[in-house]
Amino acid sequence: MSAPPGVILAGGCATRMGGGDKGLRLLGGGPVLAHVIDRLAPQCAKLALNANGDPSRFDAFALPVLPDSLPDRPGPLAGVLAGLDWAVANGAEAIVTAAADTPFFPRDLVIRLQANAGPKGVCLAASLDPTDRLYRHPTFGLWPVALRDDLRAALQSGLRKVALWADQHQPGMAVFDSQPFDPFFNINTPEDILRAEELLGQA
C-alpha cells in the first residue's frame, strides 16, 4: 500500500496559549511543528500545512500552506477539506491528517490507519488510558478524496465536529497504547509545554 500525502492541521487560534501558532512554540530547542514534521514526513509521500493568515511565517519549513477554503475558520474539518482538495490536484486517493500541537504521535501512525480503515476508507486514531478507556483523536485520521464533496456540503450546512462527520462514513479505528504516556498528548497551555519538555526523553 503506497504512502499517502500528509496534511498538518495548524489552523487553530490557540486561545489557551494566548494566541499565535502553537506549532511555532519552542520545544527542545526547536518549534513544536518541527517535531511533528519529523514524525510525519517519513510516513507520507509529501506534506502540506493547513493554516490561515500570512503563510510566510512558515517559510522555514518549505511546505505548501493550504488555507481554509471556507470563511470564518470553521475548524479542523475545513483543514481536512483543504487537504483533500490539494490531494486531488496531486493525483492522490487519500490523505492522512495530524495536529500541529501533538509532537509525540506514533511513528507507525499512517500504516496503522491504513490497516484499520473502514469500508469507505476512513480511519481515526485512538488510544487507551491505563484503565482501558478509549479516547478517539479525530484530527489524526485517514480521509479518502472520494468524500470531499460530502465534506464540503457538511461544512456548508454547519457541521463542525470532525468525529460527527467521520461517524457518518463507517470509520475504522487504529488503537494505540498509552504507555509510558499517551502519544497523542497535545499542547494547549504554557504548562503543557513544560510537560512536553519532560516527555521528550521518553518519546
The domain defined by 6-202 folds into Spore Coat Polysaccharide Biosynthesis Protein SpsA; Chain A (3.90.550)
Neighbour count for residue 68 (Cβ, 10 Å)? 20
Strand 134-144 and strand 123-128: pairing? antiparallel
| Cell digits of residue 168 | 457518518
Domain limits, the chain = 6-202
Residue showing cell 462514513: 169
Q: What is the pLDDT of residues 146-200, one digit of tens each?
A: 999 999 999 999 999 999 999 999 999 999 999 889 999 999 998 999 999 999 8
**What 3-state DSSP class applies to 84?**
helix
pLDDT tier for residue 21 given thresholds of 50, 70 and 90: confident
Phi, psi dihedral angles at 108 (to 5 degrees): -110, 25
Give the 3-state secondary structure of the chain: CCCCCEEEECCCCCHHHCCCCHHHCEECCEEHHHHHHHHHHHHCCCEEEECCCCHHHHHHHCCCEECCCCCCCCCHHHHHHHHHHHHHHCCCCEEEEEECCCCCCCCCHHHHHHHCCCCCCCEEEEEECCCCCEEEEEEEEEEEHHHHHHHHHHHHCCCCCHHHHHHHHCCEEEEECCCCCCCCCCCCCHHHHHHHHHHHHHC
pLDDT at 129: 85
Average pLDDT, the chain: 93
Q: What is the pLDDT of residues 82-122, one digit of tens each?
A: 999 999 999 999 999 999 999 999 999 999 999 999 999 99
pLDDT at 86: 97
